[in-house]
Homo-oligomer: A and B are copies of this chain.
Amino acid sequence: MTADRPGEEALIARYFAPLAGPGAEGLRDDAASLTPSPGHDLVVTVDAVVAGIHYFPGDPPASIARKVLGVNLSDLAAKGANPRGFLLTLALPGDWTEDWLANFVEGLREASAAFGCPLLGGDTVRSGGPMLLSVTAFGEVPMGAMVRRQGAQPGDRLYVTGTIGDAALGLVLQGAGAPSLDPESRAVLIDRYRHPQPRLALAPALRRHARAAMDVSDGLAGDLAKMLGGRITARVRIADVPLSAAARQALRIDPSLLATALTGGDDYEVLCAVPPEGSDAFLAEAREAGVAIAEIGTVEAGEGPALFLRQDGNVQPFERASFSHF
């Protein structure tokens, strides 16, 4: 490293220690202690993002911070967990600047405060490669109440939060040959790509009512297939999949983008299966929590892939069901 940039100890003291939560020992130790509330389990998850693969290297540093924390908290939300804290592994490329880092940490501070999830520790390394950030997020649920990905049963209703496809369309809009949207819609979709909104407010309702849940990160069609696990199948009414006004505008300009919206990923919305007898209460609690919910279909017996039905009654084919960053 060049002499005008601080070393790891100085970085921690200057930038990260102010974000440290209870149990983090002010980031002056090699470990943090963490105890779930009495009668609770911890829920742990890890997700990494890499420059040029999961985000654009030129994205605002604060957005990148928000993204890596958000994608992990989205996993916690879908498991019905309330956030408790996180660890950050930061691999800096050779050309990192202190200005970038200061803006990144400011975004991390804001996201950490907004989501009620303090920093508990981390590791900062130098890497000859692209910037890489890996977050381990901790949440908690009443003992035994983690909502599993599998466990849906025939007859369960399928719900998603928010709107689907915005981020995937926001990604397309940043590439070559993208449809030309009005500036406001374009900004909305790119914002959705950069800034996941983990649906933490829905966690209690999921714990009480969902038989299975996961966050939609690799595309609705592919993630639904993972939830069904080949044991059961489902029918989804495409007309009921919630789309934002900006997404609808994009699809009017280029109807072929429907497949992108349904398989493109980066939604960070919750997909869940709720038994019919719990549906009314689930919807009421979601409304109370301020989280938009749409019923998109039904779980059915059978082993084939889920059918995505168009309004003409035909099945929508997909070239591939999900996007893989891998």
Contact = CB atoms under 8 A, between A and B. Distances in A.
Contact of A126 (B8, B50, B126, B136): B50
A128 B125 contact: no
B48 A91 contact: yes
A134 interface: yes
B42 A42 contact: yes
Given A28-B229, A136-B87, A150-B28, A42 B46 contact: no
21 contacts: A7-B324, A8-B324, A29-B148, A30-B45, A31-B43, A31-B76, A31-B81, A31-B146, A33-B43, A33-B146, A34-B43, A42-B42, A44-B138, A45-B121, A46-B123, A48-B125, A49-B125, A53-B126, A54-B125, A93-B129, A128-B129
Interface of A: 1, 7-8, 25, 28-36, 40-50, 52-54, 75-76, 78-79, 81, 87-89, 91, 93, 120-130, 132, 134, 136, 138-139, 141, 143, 146, 148-150, 214-215, 229, 324-326
A-B complex: 6 closest residue pairs judged by Cβ atoms: A129-B129, A31-B45, A8-B326, A136-B136, A89-B134, A30-B75
